[in-house]
Amino acid sequence: QLIAQIPLKYGASREGKRTDAAMQRWRENRFGQFIHFGLYSLAGGHWNGKYVEGAAEWIKGNARISDEDYEALTRQFVLPEFDAREWARIAKEMGVKYSVITTKHHEGFCLWPSEYTDYDVSRTPFGRDLLKEYVDAYTQEGIDVYFYYSIIDWNHPDWRSRVETVEDSLAFFRYCDFMNKQITELMTRYPEVKGFWFDGTWDKSVVKFGKITWDIEQLMHRLNPGIICGSRLRVDEKGARHFDTNGKLMGDYEQGWERSLPEKAPQNDWECVMTIPENQWGYQADWRGHIKSATEIIEMLAAATSMNGNFVLNFGPKGDGSLREEEKQMARKVGKWMQLNGEAIYGCVQAPLKPQKWGYYTRHRDNGFVYMVVCYQPVSGMLKVVLPTGSVIENCVVLGKEGMELKPEKSTKNEFVIPAPEVKDGFPYVIRLKLKEGD
Ligand code: JFZ
């Protein structure tokens, strides 16, 4: 079927999925960590002793803080408890294979000493290159590093959210030049970086001049052809975001899954980013409302894997540089589960079986196993499995109890029931199936 295409200069730069090794590695990683850290971490979602509504990393606007008062946070940037190796160790314990850090959030403050601004770590009592310590520590643990970079910049005098005058356009393009220099600086100073996570591309200025996002993509590819970057960077010349005017995905994967999961597997690669409370990315000292449990997080990770997507869990370290207790607990619990059940997640993809109500199927890309991540224990005690006609279950074990084989029974035609093992700890469990296709 031929669908009319509008000629675009700055639409998708590629068609179909990437097939190179760097992208394959991203896919197989499946589980990532997000870190939101900046001056807002020092405020911890409170101003003048009062709780501030809204996401803590937006406190400057939410509490109407003046530039001067906000900048004063740089003097409190001491980070007595900061130890990148501790962050990396905890991330490793949780089982993430990559980590994305806010090198510069909307506030404009940079976690590395940048040649192009003074608003960075070098001008604080802390004084060290935080980003380098992070990159080194995570790399040492074998965790891939990615850089979040906000295009919106509340500090830079040339940033414009709208471009309406000649003066605006001159300023905005000076800002773009600054941004390109910073991206080049980041890729040069930290060659370990595997990709970028751009944010803040919704403002009218960026939407009006979509080409600037094409230019960033080209720049990154010149510096590192394997660099990975999601769709949130991109806007085409007609103002279409994520997907160009012809409906083609821009960037390497769908980056629109912010605190939400798709209902069925998207055609493209994709990644979900998730917070533990409802919507707090930076440190909020007083978490309110529903706080997700490790079980809920594990279920979302399994759901993402079952739909060929990556799942990234956010951490908002405290203003003293340490991780909050709730996040350490989360890391410990999820890590314990991953230790036992990670083979149902890493390197796994959607399984070609009809989904059942007990949870999520995944399939390893090449070890031949199908996994059942059981999140809903049936009252009947029987887990239903429907196989393609002629296929049978050759072997069936619970991960962690491989010595004890489960005995599936055929109930009708190609349907089987597996007696559900007991659930003791309140966590999902994983059944590994070896299937044999019919002749
Ligand atoms: C953005 C930021 O504003 C926020 O502070 C945080 O860094 C988050 C990861 O990204 O927030 C968004 C971005 C996109 C959507 C919603 C909030 N979205 O696509 O719905």
Range(s) of the chain covered by CATH 2.60.40.1180: 351-437
Residue 235 alpha carbon to ligand 1 centre in Å? 16
User: With a 6 A CB cut-off, is 101 part of the ligand 1 pocket?
Assistant: no
Pick the CATH number of 351-437 from 2.60.120.380, 3.90.550.10, 3.30.70.20, 2.60.40.1180: 2.60.40.1180
Residue 201 alpha carbon to ligand 1 centre in Å? 10
400 phi-psi bin (left φ>0, alpha ψ -120 to 50, beta other): left
CA-based torsion, 274, 275, 278, 279: positive or negative: negative
If residue 222 lies in a helix (H) or strand (E), which one and from where to where? helix 211-223
User: Which band of pLDDT confidence, cut at 50, 70 and 90, is reported for residue 337?
Assistant: very high
In whole angstroms, what is the distance from residue 163 CA to residue 204 CA?
7
Is this structure's pTM higher than 0.90? yes
If residue 133 lies in a helix (H) or strand (E), which one and from where to where? helix 130-140
288 phi-psi bin (left φ>0, alpha ψ -120 to 50, beta other): beta
How are beta strands 254-258 and 270-274 bridged, if at all? parallel
Structure tokens at 230: 């999601």
Whether residue 170 has pLDDT greater than 70: yes
User: With a 6 A CB cut-off, is 254 part of the ligand 1 pocket?
Assistant: no
Residue 258 alpha carbon to ligand 1 centre in Å? 7
Residue 196 alpha carbon to ligand 1 centre in Å? 15
Whether residue 397 has pLDDT greater than 80: yes
Q: What is the pLDDT of residues 243-290, one digit of tens each?
A: 999 999 999 999 999 999 999 999 999 999 999 999 999 999 999 999
What average pLDDT does this structure show over 7-18?
96
pLDDT for the residue numbered 2:
62
In whole angstroms, what is the distance from residue 311 CA to residue 30 CA?
6
User: Which band of pLDDT confidence, cut at 50, 70 and 90, is reported for residue 307?
Assistant: very high
User: With a 6 A CB cut-off, is 273 part of the ligand 1 pocket?
Assistant: yes
How are beta strands 415-419 and 195-199 bridged, if at all? unpaired
What average pLDDT does this structure show over 163-177?
98
What average pLDDT does this structure show over 52-71?
98
Whether residue 439 has pLDDT greater than 90: no
Of all atoms in ligand 1, which is nearest to the CA of residue 105? 7
What DSSP designation does 115 have?
A: T
Tell me how crowded residue 367 is: count the other CB atoms within 10 A of its CB. 11
Q: Which residues contact 404 (CB under 8 A, 6 or more apart)?
A: 397, 398
pLDDT for the residue numbered 424:
84
Range(s) of the chain covered by CATH 3.20.20.80: 21-347
Q: How far is CA 11 from CA 15, 172, 411, in A?
A: 10, 21, 52
What average pLDDT does this structure show over 368-388?
97
pLDDT for the residue numbered 407:
97
Structure tokens at 138: 């995570």
Which residue's CA is the nearest one to ligand 1's atom 7?
A: 281
Fold of 21-347: TIM Barrel (3.20.20)
Which residue's CA is the nearest one to ligand 1's atom 16?
A: 258
Of all atoms in ligand 1, which is nearest to the CA of residue 34? 9
Tell me if 242 sits within 8 A of 250, measured CB to CB: yes
Whether residue 4 has pLDDT greater than 90: no
User: With a 6 A CB cut-off, is 252 part of the ligand 1 pocket?
Assistant: no
Whether residue 347 has pLDDT greater than 90: yes
Q: What is the pLDDT of residues 400-414, one digit of tens each?
A: 999 899 999 999 999
Structure tokens at 48: 């003048």
| Residue 404, Cβ density class (10 Å: 0-12 exposed, 13-18 middle, ≥19 buried) | exposed
Residue 197 alpha carbon to ligand 1 centre in Å? 11
Whether residue 438 has pLDDT greater than 90: no
Residue 428 alpha carbon to ligand 1 centre in Å? 29
What average pLDDT does this structure show over 323-329?
98
Whether residue 1 has pLDDT greater than 70: no
In whole angstroms, what is the distance from residue 287 CA to residue 297 CA?
17
Question: Can you tell me the ipTM of this complex?
Answer: 0.96
